[in-house]
Structure 1
Amino acid sequence: MTDQATDGMTGRATGLDDVAAGPFGGLREQLLGAAERFGSGPVAQILAGMVEDVDRALREPLEIFPVCHHSPSSATAMARRLRDKRPKVIYLELCEDVRPLLDELHNCTLPVALQAFAADIDGFPERWAPLSVVAPITEASAEYQAISYALTTSGVELVLVDRSVDHVFQWEPRDDAAGRDSGPAGPDGPGKGEGDEPALHGDAVGVEIGDLRPGFAELEEHLLHHGKVRHWSEWWDQYVEQPLVDADYDTYRQVMVLIGSLFRRLRPEDSARTRVDEDRERYMWTRIREHLAASGADPADCLYVCGAFHAASRVPEFGLHGATGFEIGPRTATKWQYGLIPSSHSAIEAQFGLAPGSVSIAAATWKKALRRTGIKPFKLGGRRKGRAKPVAPRPGPVTDRLSGFLTTAPAPHGVDEQELLGWCVDIVRLARKNGYPSSTADAIAVYETSILLAGIRGRRRPTPYDFQDAAVTCIEKDAVPGRRDIARLCEILLGGDRVGSVGYDALPPLARDVLDRLKPLGVNLEERTIRRALLNLDADPDLRPCSDLLWVLRRLVPDAARPIIGTRRLGERSMQESWDLAIGRNMRAIVELGYEGVTVEQVLEQRLRKAVHAPKATAAQALAAVEDSILFLGGRRFTDELGARAVELLAAERTVDDAPEVLRRARRLLAYYQATEPDLPEWCRSFVTAGYAHYCTLLPTAFADDDAGARQVAAMLGFLLGMESLALSFGCDHTQLELAVQQSHPEAPDKVALLWAAQTQLGLLPLDELRRRCDELLDNPLVVPSFPLYLSGFVQALEPVPSLAPLVVEILSKAFARLPDAVLLPWLPRLITTLKDHAAEMVPVLIREAGRTFPATLAALDTWTPPWSAPPEAPAPPVDAGPVGDLLAANPATCDAVAALLGLPPDWPSGPSDPTGPVAALLADHPATADAVAALLT
């Protein structure tokens, strides 16, 4: 081994003479001797490099405090060191722009998470929006001890030196290997836990201090196998946390840096994660040197708190005397909002890939260590109390504590006998409450199995993980009787899933506004349990503002408020309402609303305006926004603005995909305005006229286009025929619709049926001619297999032409009577789905018409003859129309219009003396009208 070794991570030469001659020379020789027995050069280089990393970190003039996230040993060591050293400046590895949030932690109950949120992004891929970063903080963590000390001690400055949240996303890879936009992910990415608690962090990117874990799966698998544990959290607790929780400060520092160096040197050098970590280290050391230069602080009075992985850094910028010149790029134009959100142990475990219950076990270990050692932790209970004591003398020369620690068996810190007995009794009691048939014998079995598992795994005392495995083995049988299994009950017993809360004063203005406006309900909204609120709006009109707020909240955060009784539709208001409220459980979502506005109404208005002006906005979406503005916001100005936007979007559309939704919402809005206001708003008039012209233009193309379904064409005809009278009153031309229908030449059977229905409604196709065409289709053996498609079209034609209901019943009856089973039976499921998906509102019309057509009793069915099969009635004898008939014949325009409305052909007799023809028959059937007209004329 030469005196010079090349550092593979940075490519720079580092001397080993100082290490060989320093306090770790003996340890280095022992490790090199062990490496020679392996016969591998890289192993020797890694072991020697680890010793070098420890020596360099401990020789740094600025004291480095290595930590691991949510580690009770790191928290106890931090509490000890802060009381001994009393630093005046603490540099903390945390996003530098969340510093103002730390002052609000005294208003919260841990665990909570610091959050940065951006809804409108600039400089990042659009598919990443919204961006969210969270940094959870628990009581059993070194960072919380440092924060509490700095905020409760006068004269102490807390400086966050890690990259800003904007740089977190700037440094994320934009494209993965396949060229796809991968988005922010990775080990610090969103958690994938199940249940309600992981949702406390949503899909935010997680950032923590001291992420310490092997960089590749083979090493982790090796450690788990030889450590006889199931997962990484158990390995860390067994082999790091328990031995270090009572170790002295020097031993703690050396061991943590050694572990960080091991995991760092065994991580792939060219990975994206390694490059990001190195840039973070350059960033932090650059910020530290800038602050020291600006403040003139003495490095001896400072403490740098960072992850053990970063304490073993080998970048050139490491240390106060490291290389300079690292440039920190500017932030993007994205506007970030900052706040505190509730967190929980299970949310932290899910987001950072920890084993369920590991954070709760760490919290229990922290409390046990405080009782055993008598350490007084720092807590945020109020404002700054006293000044920092004078700094203790600098520690003496660095001595080797690693050799003794690595060669001495740790003292057993497992569960003692009395504690284990109490757990066994309590778990049986909890199991009984949750439906398990457990007994005292199960408690004894759990106790003995815990000891047996500990012995098998080479432990002197059982650990909480041994107890949990034993309880699952002895109590949980084939099925879980309740919603909690034994593993979950053990987590509750060992400390539970503690859920934090954000105090009222630390909430954004919107969240405080929600709590203030809902106070008249008399319900504790900050609790995480679901609360029932009853609102009698007639007896207590003062509760109507609460109802309005709850409906807006329901629109924005559906899980926060769920109506049990009461609805809110256009033109309807409930007299009584009942709500299930889960405000406290969904406080994260409500806090995030506070990043978008001051009130929930403002947030809803902004979202509706943004939705209708989006590049892919449609007229249907704009009409939905109009409806929401009427229901939840009120106010005519904003509604008219959204309506005007709907007119623009409808005129710009080139497809008819959303025609059914447009028709449904337009009808509902028109009915609302006609029932509540004397005149339609201007945007409604414009929408009807624009829609009439728009759909007339697109109708021939939609009939011929295979991409436009029959449902879309039926909705277009429904708009044109259903709103024709309104459109004509606003100045539209009926000829435009007739020309559009005449220019339509569909080929699909269902669209052909729709065209025939439209022609019948417009008087272009007599009803008898339509009936004859349908009979011809049934008589044609070549068309019979496709006749169900014609039937589907006629069913959907009930939307634009509901007057065809008798004919549709007739056609369906003939189809069931005459179609062969090979055609009819496969078509029945399609008929049902067609009725369900495309004409559900028309089914009652068909049922009523069938009830009028078919007999009501079985006895009448035997003698019943279908109306369409009955022989035609004999024609009435000719009746002399008299002078009235002559007068009408001389002025045929009026009679032609009446005949067209009645669906009759306007055939006139050959002369005034000819008493034949349908007009004469009509007058003969209704003589009273003719007599009245004659009386007026005489």
Structure 2
Amino acid sequence: MTAGAAQTRIFGIRHHGPGSARSLRLALERFRPDAILIEGPADADPLVGYVAAADMSPPVALLAYQPDEPARAAFWPYAGFSPEWQALRYAAEHGVEVGFCDLPAAITLAVTDEPGDRTDPLGLLAAAGGYDDAERWWDAIVESSSDADIFDAVHEAMAALRESAVEAGDATGESEESERDPITIDTHTLRREAHMRQVMRKTLKDGAQRLAVVCGAWHTPALSGKLGPAVADTRLLKGLPKVKTTLTWVPWTHSRLASGSGYGAGITSPGWYQHLFTETEQPIVRWLTKVAGTLRQHDLPVSSAHIIESVRLADTLATLRGRPLPGLSEVTEATRAVLCDGDETMLALVSRELVVGEALGSVPDGTPTVPLEADLRAQIRTLRLKLEALERTVDLDLRTERDMAKSRLLHRLRLLGIAWGRRTASEVRGTGTFRETWKLQWQPELAVAVVEASRWGTTLRTAAEAKILDQVNQPDAAVQEVAAALDAALLADLSDAIDGLIVRLESVAALDHDVTHLLAALPDLLRTLRYGDVRSTDTAALARVTDGLLVRVCAGLPSAVTGLDADAAADLRTRLDAVHLALAARNDEWANESWLAALRALADRDDVNGGLVGRAVRLLCDAEIIDAAESAQRLSAALSVGRTAGDKAAWIDGFLGGRGLLLVHDRNLLGLINSWLCGLEEPDFVAILPLLRRTFGEFESGVRQSIAQAVRHGATTAARASAATDYDTERGVIALRAAIEILRGTA
């Protein structure tokens, strides 16, 4: 089209279409524009220069956010096969002026209540062509070939659709007279197109002679032809709200381009489109070879003959359907029938790893960003970490300086709500406190999380310290929350926050008289005391607070265990276990003696829930304060006449508590429990059966089998009988000497 001496060409494309991208490159080479406008936020023009950087690698996205409210953000993603990205690359390679022409992000973020485009023009054209899937239609008609003249046909099709379209305000009357709802152009779309025309006018006025406009195919009729006066467009755009925004480039992923991720302009097969764009020679053969390689990696037997037959089947299906080349539907059916033998699970694997695929782009270090992100990038580079879209497991040995630094970085990010890493159980056997295992996976939306966290500070360390202190200084902060925050601060090496956290812990603990709260806080504090050895952290100040809490817990435990129902007793029992385990790991003589004395007092009471008493006895037995004979005596007393069946079952549950191996080795205890069970009346047995089933169900299968075998063969009686038998010491000494001589090899 012409405007005076200038020429303007409108190229209607499908966002993220490889065929559109190749056709656009051919069309631009033929048209040779001196200015290019691209559908995208107009206030992102200052970022165009970064496209030519050597370390700018798609997929990437333009990110716009409000500095004072970073959660309000918007993304404009581009893959290597996106026509818009190819237009940007063409401009960079040929020195052509390029910019964006859509509504600025400042308006887009302000007008959040505007509905999106409700019309799917490709769906209408696909239905007219006999397709039930718009993407399959576009794939077959456009993406399977490269033709610079395709844009005229696309424009003609869209113009025909828009002739019958109505604007949003006029849709009601039309729908009453039509059998189906009309094609509607909403107000937001009209405003976007008005802004595009305004930018086109300005570009032509600035001297452009050959203007190329790259936009979604649906907009081409609104931008083609003579632009005319700007009065109507100015009126439509007048008074639109704006907010202060900041824009930058961020890495993106193929999975976030997929429509399944919730992206409005998403595609179902970014991995397939990337393949079509990069593999121009024999794309079907190369694709099915890649599929075969993926299946082989999962130990599936796929031969060259399978690949040949799948290619033939895909070509045959395309011929039968009258298509010039096999598309994704034909390739998928060939994959299912030949390579996967009809197995939908394997087909889903191919779809996930190849059809959608995964790739994470990168942006130059000089890209505009908040100081916090700059610090994150610098630390990632120093520690030789890598942002990856696929989940990766990392084992850290905290005895090495580099792994310790990685651990601190990941803990600081977690405190700031930047979930790049997730702690998980280590798969390495024999690990201790010197080892950590993390699952790392970078998601594009974490870029927004970094911006949100930047309000706390300019570096990861200062930001994490400021945030954690702010959290614990809230009026409703509980002692357990402060203790957990202190534990996290030591893991993240936030030394400047430690003193403030300890002071806050002392003040909160002094006002909290609930022993259950203090019990809940103790395990974190006791674990924290171990980090002085592993992390070279000074925890002397924390020991005073922890010991003070332990004294208060031991003093308040007698009243805390009184009058508890079954649920409250079970909860308190879990807390007792956690404190006991943490104290054992600390291995402090005074603390252990104080705690065991409190447990001894609990074990001697008969007015407390049986589950708590039984657990106290078991913990004392494990600590070798109570021997096997006393344990059996206490169990016998707990099962004596005068107690209810439910209380007896609770005592056994507390005493055993998932540790059935004790009954395998101590047949005396097993005999006592077996005799009690055999003597129960039917109503009592039915009443306590759920609790007993839970108790014994927690045992490992091998332990249960050993217990059942011992009871079945009367081993409990034999054990009691053998216990009364005198041993022949002299014969035993002879046997021991013979065994020693054999082991020494002197026999």
Residue 473 (str. 1) matches residue 331 (str. 2): no
Residue of 72, 78, 84 corresponding to 1:143: 84
Aligned to 1:66: 12
Paired residues of 1:120 and 1:130 also in contact (CA < 8 A)? no
Give secondary structure in 1 for the equivalent of 2:272: helix
Aligned to 1:156: 97
Aligned to 2:526: 667
Aligned to 1:328: 240
In the superposition, relative to structure 1, how do residues 482 and 658 fare at CA in structure 2: closer, same or farther (>3 Å)? farther
Report the TM-score when normalising by structure 2. 0.63
Aligned to 2:135: 233
Paired residues of 1:651 and 1:690 also in contact (CA < 8 A)? no
Aligned to 1:285: 194
In the superposition, relative to structure 1, how do residues 133 and 62 fare at CA in structure 2: closer, same or farther (>3 Å)? same
The one-character-per-residue Cα deviations of 1:164-209 (angstroms, maximum 9, x if unpaired) are 2784486159xxxxxxxxxxxx99xxxxxxxxxxxxxxxxxxxxxx
Report how far residue 632 of structure 1 moved.
3.4
Aligned to 2:484: 624
Paired residues of 1:150 and 1:156 also in contact (CA < 8 A)? yes
Aligned to 1:134: 75
Paired residues of 1:286 and 1:326 also in contact (CA < 8 A)? no
In the superposition, relative to structure 1, how do residues 78 and 654 fare at CA in structure 2: closer, same or farther (>3 Å)? farther
Aligned to 2:206: 297
Report how far residue 549 of structure 1 moved.
1.9
Aligned to 2:272: 360
In the superposition, relative to structure 1, how do residues 61 and 294 fare at CA in structure 2: closer, same or farther (>3 Å)? closer
Residue 458 (str. 1) matches residue 319 (str. 2): no
Give secondary structure in 2 for the equivalent of 1:94: strand
In the superposition, relative to structure 1, how do residues 562 and 603 fare at CA in structure 2: closer, same or farther (>3 Å)? farther
Residue 784 (str. 1) matches residue 645 (str. 2): yes
The one-character-per-residue Cα deviations of 1:231-263 (angstroms, maximum 9, x if unpaired) are 432111223545883426544433344457778
* Whole-angstrom distance in 2 between the partners of 1:425 and 1:112: 24
In the superposition, relative to structure 1, how do residues 229 and 486 fare at CA in structure 2: closer, same or farther (>3 Å)? farther
Alignment map for 1:628-777 (pairs within 5 Å): 628-633=488-493, 635=495, 637-650=496-509, 660-670=519-529, 685-686=544-545, 689=548, 703-704=562-563, 708-712=568-572, 715=575, 750=611
Aligned to 1:817: 675
Aligned to 1:862: 721
Report how far residue 228 of structure 1 moved.
5.9
* Whole-angstrom distance in 1 between the partners of 2:39 and 2:236: 20
Report how far residue 78 of structure 1 moved.
4.2
Aligned to 2:253: 343
Aligned to 2:382: 517
Structure 2 counterpart of 1:817, which letter? S
Paired residues of 1:64 and 1:304 also in contact (CA < 8 A)? yes
Paired residues of 2:58 and 2:78 also in contact (CA < 8 A)? yes
Residue 558 (str. 1) matches residue 438 (str. 2): no
* Whole-angstrom distance in 2 between the partners of 1:753 and 1:826: 18
In the superposition, relative to structure 1, how do residues 786 and 98 fare at CA in structure 2: closer, same or farther (>3 Å)? farther
Paired residues of 1:117 and 1:592 also in contact (CA < 8 A)? no
Report how far residue 453 of structure 1 moved.
2.0
* Whole-angstrom distance in 1 between the partners of 2:472 and 2:32: 57
Report how far residue 630 of structure 1 moved.
2.3
Give secondary structure in 1 for the equivalent of 2:421: coil
* Whole-angstrom distance in 1 between the partners of 2:151 and 2:351: 35
* Whole-angstrom distance in 2 between the partners of 1:610 and 1:73: 53
Structure 2 counterpart of 1:307, which letter? G
| Structure number with larger C-alpha Rg | 1
Structure 2 counterpart of 1:662, which letter? A
In the superposition, relative to structure 1, how do residues 455 and 91 fare at CA in structure 2: closer, same or farther (>3 Å)? closer
In the superposition, relative to structure 1, how do residues 211 and 786 fare at CA in structure 2: closer, same or farther (>3 Å)? same
Paired residues of 1:344 and 1:499 also in contact (CA < 8 A)? yes
Paired residues of 1:101 and 1:339 also in contact (CA < 8 A)? yes
Report how far residue 833 of structure 1 moved.
7.1
Report the TM-score when normalising by structure 1. 0.52
* Stretches of structure 2 lacking an aligned partner (at least 5 in a row): 176-182, 414-419, 584-589, 592-597, 620-630, 660-665, 704-714, 726-747
In the superposition, relative to structure 1, how do residues 812 and 615 fare at CA in structure 2: closer, same or farther (>3 Å)? farther
Aligned to 2:61: 114
Residue of 120, 123, 130 corresponding to 1:213: 120
Paired residues of 1:101 and 1:114 also in contact (CA < 8 A)? no
Aligned to 1:449: 313
Give secondary structure in 1 for the equivalent of 2:99: strand
Paired residues of 2:66 and 2:243 also in contact (CA < 8 A)? no
Give secondary structure in 2 for the equivalent of 1:625: helix
Percent identity of the aligned residues?
A: 17
In the superposition, relative to structure 1, how do residues 832 and 163 fare at CA in structure 2: closer, same or farther (>3 Å)? farther
* Whole-angstrom distance in 1 between the partners of 2:269 and 2:293: 20
Structure 1 counterpart of 2:17, which letter? S
Residue of 404, 409, 423 corresponding to 1:548: 404
* Whole-angstrom distance in 1 between the partners of 2:154 and 2:110: 33
Alignment map for 1:350-499 (pairs within 5 Å): 350-351=260-261, 352=263, 356-357=268-269, 360-361=272-273, 364=276, 368=280, 437=301, 442=306, 445-459=309-323, 462-463=326-327, 465-479=329-343
Q: How many residues align?
A: 646
C-alpha RMSD of matched pairs (Å): 6.4
* Whole-angstrom distance in 1 between the partners of 2:537 and 2:365: 46
Q: Greater shift after overlay, 770-779 or 323-332?
A: 770-779
In the superposition, relative to structure 1, how do residues 80 and 564 fare at CA in structure 2: closer, same or farther (>3 Å)? same
* Stretches of structure 1 lacking an aligned partner (at least 5 in a row): 1-54, 123-128, 174-185, 188-209, 372-417, 539-543, 724-728, 731-736, 759-769, 799-807, 837-842, 844-855, 867-938
* Whole-angstrom distance in 2 between the partners of 1:135 and 1:482: 33
Q: Greater shift after overlay, 232-241 or 451-460?
A: 451-460
Paired residues of 1:670 and 1:684 also in contact (CA < 8 A)? yes
* Whole-angstrom distance in 2 between the partners of 1:696 and 1:276: 74
* Whole-angstrom distance in 1 between the partners of 2:577 and 2:397: 44
The one-character-per-residue Cα deviations of 1:673-725 (angstroms, maximum 9, x if unpaired) are 799999975565456547866997898577456574443377489989x99xx
In the superposition, relative to structure 1, how do residues 790 and 97 fare at CA in structure 2: closer, same or farther (>3 Å)? farther
Alignment map for 1:44-63 (pairs within 5 Å): none
Alignment map for 1:25-104 (pairs within 5 Å): 65-72=11-18, 74-76=20-22, 78-79=24-25, 82=28, 90-96=36-42, 98-104=44-50
* Whole-angstrom distance in 2 between the partners of 1:771 and 1:72: 77
Give secondary structure in 2 for the equivalent of 1:158: strand
Give secondary structure in 2 for the equivalent of 1:633: coil
* Whole-angstrom distance in 1 between the partners of 2:200 and 2:507: 55
Alignment map for 1:893-912 (pairs within 5 Å): none
Report how far residue 69 of structure 1 moved.
0.2
Paired residues of 1:117 and 1:130 also in contact (CA < 8 A)? no
Aligned to 1:410: none
* Whole-angstrom distance in 2 between the partners of 1:677 and 1:247: 69
Paired residues of 2:18 and 2:82 also in contact (CA < 8 A)? yes
* Whole-angstrom distance in 1 between the partners of 2:559 and 2:671: 31
Alignment map for 1:907-922 (pairs within 5 Å): none
Paired residues of 2:275 and 2:287 also in contact (CA < 8 A)? no
* Whole-angstrom distance in 1 between the partners of 2:140 and 2:67: 45
Paired residues of 1:88 and 1:301 also in contact (CA < 8 A)? yes
Report how far residue 748 of structure 1 moved.
5.6
The one-character-per-residue Cα deviations of 1:551-604 (angstroms, maximum 9, x if unpaired) are 1244343369997769997xx657xx9x9997xx74858866754466554454
